[in-house]
Structure 1
Amino acid sequence: MTDPGRQTGLHGKIFRYGISAVGPIASAGSQLLLSLMLLKMLPPDAFGSFSFLFVASVFSWGLWSALFCAPLPILMSQGTAEDREAAPQCILAVSLVASVLALAVLFGLGLLLKVPPLAAFLFAAYGAVALIRWLARAYGYASGHPLRTTASDVTYSVALVAGVGLVMLTGHPSLDLAYAALLLAAALGLLPFGRAYLAKQFLHPRVRDAAGYAAIWRQHSGWSLLGVLTTEATANAHAYIVTGLQGPSAFAPLAASALMIRPIGVATNALSEFERAQMARQIGERRFAAAIGSVRTFRLALIAVWVATAIAIGLLLAFDPRLIFPAHYPLHFLAVGALLWLAVAGMRLIRAPESALLQAAGQFRPLAYASVLSAVVSIATVVLLLVTVGPLWSIGGIFLGEAVFACWTWVQAHRWRQAQGDGAPTLNHPREVVL
């Protein structure tokens, strides 16, 4: 199968982004359809609980990216042939056990939010299977088989849209059916990776495979995990603080307004996942100029998505906002929320290409430092704004945290690029970076 990452020229870039974007756009579109359906059908407190559970699930994807997905392309493109075979099997073994723990955590969280037990279990099971599929997606990219990842996303999307259609046909809001549809879609999304991969994931893992993860943790995942935890605090501090202090009903309008910038997040995540794998190969081959060129192309693509999304939001709010949002969500709240979220999304896309570059180079410690600083700013500002001017303006705290994160990431990426030009220690030694 042709590796899109090795296509050259303008047509190659268009093909590469088309391949990397079509699957995530389809899967995110189906999830957005589910969210919009539940937004219409559920009261604010129930929609707030659903939205918070989804935030927690997406956070778990970030954890998996740190612990398993981000190191994977580095480990599969460097070292001896034996190392390149052993490292993925180690990661698959550890992640399988961790997904069971994630199921228990998500189930407990659902019960704390007073979600009915069956619905809470179905969502928790979905969350665990989604994590297994998330790692499979990263494996598809890292092994040079992006079409399998795309096929998985499309399969997931078709199954979820069918499930949403079934829920709508019933004519009443059923969280059991909605979460069952998510679970079935995630399970079916594993099939395109094929028997060989599924056997590696479910049949071949052995206890001794997991022993090698300690070295992966020390070199890559430890710093990456710190970065994800603090990045989550930067990006979603409002979700945890508002829900914790004022409950799901207070979080519901924020979650509703955030739906409008979902396409930007989809594009950023999809292209980051794809480009990180491509950049890791380019850096492993010491083609630094190519990796830096990927950063520029990545940024232009994200800017185009941001502009298109901003235009679409403006048209929606100007002509027919009730097409999506029920009457109990005030238009003023939605309009101000949309502007604040667009500012946040703009700051995120400024740093996303450099973040992907540093991850591909194994520079997890500088990213961790950046996210720690930004998390402190974000949490403190969100709390201050929440208690002084209310939940809506707490989004401003997220913007300030993202601004700090972007500035620091740019500085670290600039240092790394200078190091390559000067022949200084590079990607395999993150602890040697001078901060």
Structure 2
Amino acid sequence: MPRLQRYAVAGVGPFSGALAQFLLSLLVLRSLGAAEFGTFSFLIIASIFSAGVCSALFCAPLPALLHKSGQAERAALLRCIFAMSGMAALLALAVFLGMGLALRLPFVEALLFAIYAALFLLRWFGRSYFYAIGDRLRTARSDIVYSAVLLVGIGGLAATGRVSLQLSFAVLLVSILAALLTFGLPYLQRQFLSFYPAAFADYRPIWRAHSGWSLLGIVTTEATINSHAYIVTLIAGPTAYAPVAATALLVRPLNVLQNALEEFERPQMAAELAGGRMHAVIHSAAQFRLVLFAGLLATALAAAVMFVLFPNVLFPREYSMAVLITGAALWIGAAAVRLVRVPDSTMLQAGGEFRRLAWSSVVACGFSIVSVLFLLALAGPIWSIGGIIIGEIAFCTCVLHQSRRWRSSPEGANRRKALATSTPRAGQP
């Protein structure tokens, strides 16, 4: 299947999910107050971050480890990772329940979102697992079911006019549960019945070799790209964060495209590296970047048309148009810088080079946090997005430098040879 056709298969589910979540956010934006929308948006940001943590701990190392291991090692590895991902979901349930209550949500609303966030992690891991073993259609089916159920729920809320945070969280929960069920009973049994006491000990080598560095990278990357959400909400409150989150809606589909294609490309690149085909990996990265920038161009044009012809089609009139235009321009600028580095970041992940990525994001997050704090104090919440751009520029510079070093260094060549020592067949667990 040509690569662009495979991108279409990989992207149709996430795109439909992005559209559904965009519509739900828009419905909340237009139906509820700024404080409720700010709370909703902050919780969504936090749940996406938790998926990034899950990806760092269990998803990102999976393709490289499966390509390195023998059959018996793969079986033990998978049992360990399934067990640990289940325990991570339980931890997320407790964390998000506490977070919701800290944001002064009623208990039922906080619990609904906490359950959704836990199941969201399990589905995210399932998506990566089926990508890693070559079953892309299973992932696409789950994405489409999630989107379809969510769209039906949104339609029901809009038709009845009964929009509330509680019903919005309930719709999200039903949608993620339906999507998880599409993975099938054998998979769900494996996921929920894999716990064993020695899982922590068995996971320790994976942590030392891959996940520890990957997690450091994810946490510092989150600080680079989303520090504004946490800083503005903590210092100024959900109401001040609302216009920042509202303008971020314009680039959310682009972020979903990026994440979906990263999950798709990472195992493909790992397989190419295992076969010693570095030239194919570089070609894939170039095509990956081209698709991402095509999405960026479409997003920028759509935003420009909306502000010129339909300025209030998305945003309520109480939001300042000058603030919205400023925020949209800043978000598109941040996305442009980010998309430059994404293919090289994915290449380094596929090669197991999590340490290089981690140090790049450690450097970048310092720039981002300091810049966000400075711009928030100097110019207000909407300009805090400028701090994200500064952090992204630092991150992009470091990643491109590390990628060039890895491709040309003897260490990188040795890593690629190690990947080729044991290559599983497509679809082999």
Using structure 2 for the length normalisation, give the TM-score: 0.95
Q: 1:144 aligns with which of 107, 122, 134?
A: 134
The answer as to whether partners of 1:288 and 1:420 remain within 8 angstroms in 2 is no
Displacement of 1:151 in angstroms is 0.3
1:282 paired residue number: 272
The aligned runs of 1:3-402 (5 Å cut-off) are 7=1, 12-402=2-392
The answer as to whether partners of 1:234 and 1:375 remain within 8 angstroms in 2 is yes
2:427 paired residue number: none
Deviation per CA, 1:333-360: give whole Å up to 9, x if none: 1111111000000011000000000000
Structure 1 residues 162 and 378: alpha-carbon distance in aligned structure 2, compared to 1, 3 A threshold: same
Structure 2: distance between partners of 1:208 and 1:348:
39
Structure 1: distance between partners of 2:359 and 2:290:
26
Displacement of 1:98 in angstroms is 1.2
Structure 1: distance between partners of 2:185 and 2:92:
25
What residue ranges of structure 1 are gaps of 5+ in the alignment?
Answer: 1-6, 430-435
Structure 1: distance between partners of 2:43 and 2:415:
42
The answer as to whether partners of 2:363 and 2:394 remain within 8 angstroms in 1 is yes
Q: Percent identity?
A: 47
Structure 2: distance between partners of 1:310 and 1:420:
41
Displacement of 1:29 in angstroms is 1.0
Structure 2: distance between partners of 1:370 and 1:422:
17
Structure 1: distance between partners of 2:3 and 2:382:
39
The alignment partner of 2:182 has SS state of helix
The alignment partner of 1:323 has SS state of coil
Structure 2: distance between partners of 1:329 and 1:321:
11
Displacement of 1:170 in angstroms is 2.8
The answer as to whether partners of 1:361 and 1:428 remain within 8 angstroms in 2 is no
C-alpha root-mean-square deviation of aligned residues, in Å?
Answer: 1.4
Residue-pair matches, total = 419
One-letter amino acid of the structure 1 residue matched with residue 82 of structure 2: L
Deviation per CA, 1:21-77: give whole Å up to 9, x if none: 001101111111110000000100110001001111011011001001101111222
Displacement of 1:192 in angstroms is 2.1
2:423 paired residue number: none
Deviation per CA, 1:143-184: give whole Å up to 9, x if none: 100110000000001111111122223313221111111111
The range that moved more, 245-254 or 189-198, is 189-198
2:405 paired residue number: 415
Greater relative CO (CA pairs within 8 A, separation 6+): 2
Displacement of 1:195 in angstroms is 2.2
One-letter amino acid of the structure 1 residue matched with residue 10 of structure 2: S
Structure 1: distance between partners of 2:165 and 2:108:
9
The alignment partner of 2:357 has SS state of helix
Structure 1 residues 173 and 362: alpha-carbon distance in aligned structure 2, compared to 1, 3 A threshold: same
Structure 1: distance between partners of 2:32 and 2:137:
37
Displacement of 1:204 in angstroms is 3.6
Displacement of 1:223 in angstroms is 0.3
Structure 2: distance between partners of 1:427 and 1:402:
32
